[in-house]
Amino acid sequence: MSLHINAKNGIAGNMSVAALIDLGADQETVVRTAENAASTLISTKAVLRKVSRNGIAALHLDTVCEDMSFPIEDIKRAIGSADIEGTQRALNILETLIKAEQEYHMTHHVHFHEIGCADLVFDIVGTIKALELLGETDITCTPVSVGGGTVTFSHGTLDVPAPATKKILETYRIPFAKGPIDRELATPTGVAILANIVGRYTEHASALQTGYGAGSNFNGIPNVLEISRVAS
């Protein structure tokens, strides 16, 4: 068996964890492992609930923690503390984010703190733990829909995809398309995860079982990440 990711309606770190749990990764184990790692920085709890996104039933994950930034070395230690076998892969995801953010910041002279949050640790560790529990190592993915319009954060208002997202997509040659709506659909964390777990990109796969991870409730599309078991 293999896994196939349908990212045509967006991808984010929390959507990845939720879709993998919905597919069958043990929720208690994934959540406990990710909460414990994130809580080495600050108390972190996950809230999961079933929601509907344009008629699709999906699992939504919200990470509840104080909105604080931490030094990158602390983030690395938190990931390193996690009860996962794929520590290096988790750290590689973080490194992908760091390099993309640093290249942008060196050009635009913006303070580098955007990724230093506990929910990032949760999303990375949760994804890796869930993949380990599912036991699948051959992973494919569709081209990624990144959305459009603008996004506002500490650097100001910028075009979608955000600079870090675009840098990762280009560096790792991840196929992507603008649209289908003018909202941010692909986050830096989401595409950094893809960059480190996906072996190849393909449009179609015959799904045997599918998990659905919900993003924001946008008009016009079901903002849902689909991850399916497929025949190898």
The ranges of the chain with pLDDT < 70 are 104-115, 154-155
**CA-CA distance, 17 to 23, in Å (whole number)?**
10
Q: What is the pLDDT of residue 110?
A: 39
Q: Which residues contact 199 (CB under 8 A, 6 or more apart)?
A: 138, 139, 140
pLDDT tens-digit series, residues 69-126:
898 899 999 999 999 999 999 999 999 999 998 886 665 443 444 567 999 999 999 9
- Kindly report each contact of residues 152-155 with a partner whose C-beta sits within 8 Å and lies 24 or more positions away, as own/partner: 153/114, 154/110, 154/111, 154/113, 154/114, 155/104, 155/108, 155/110, 155/114
Cβ–Cβ under 8 Å, residues 5 and 227: yes
Burial class (CB in 10 A: 0-12, 13-18, 19+), 220: exposed
Query: Which residue range(s) make up the domain with 89?
Result: 2-230
**CA-CA distance, 62 to 15, in Å (whole number)?**
9
Give the C-alpha distances (Å, rounded to integers) separating 105 from 63, 101, 169: 27, 6, 17
Q: What is the pLDDT of residue 202?
A: 95
**pTM (two decimals):** 0.94
Our count of domains for the chain comes to 1
Which residues share a beta bridge with 49? 60
Q: What is the pLDDT of residue 17?
A: 99
**CA-CA distance, 11 to 82, in Å (whole number)?**
23
Burial class (CB in 10 A: 0-12, 13-18, 19+), 92: middle
Q: What is the pLDDT of residue 156?
A: 79
Q: What is the pLDDT of residue 102?
A: 83
Q: What is the pLDDT of residue 107?
A: 52
SS3 152: strand
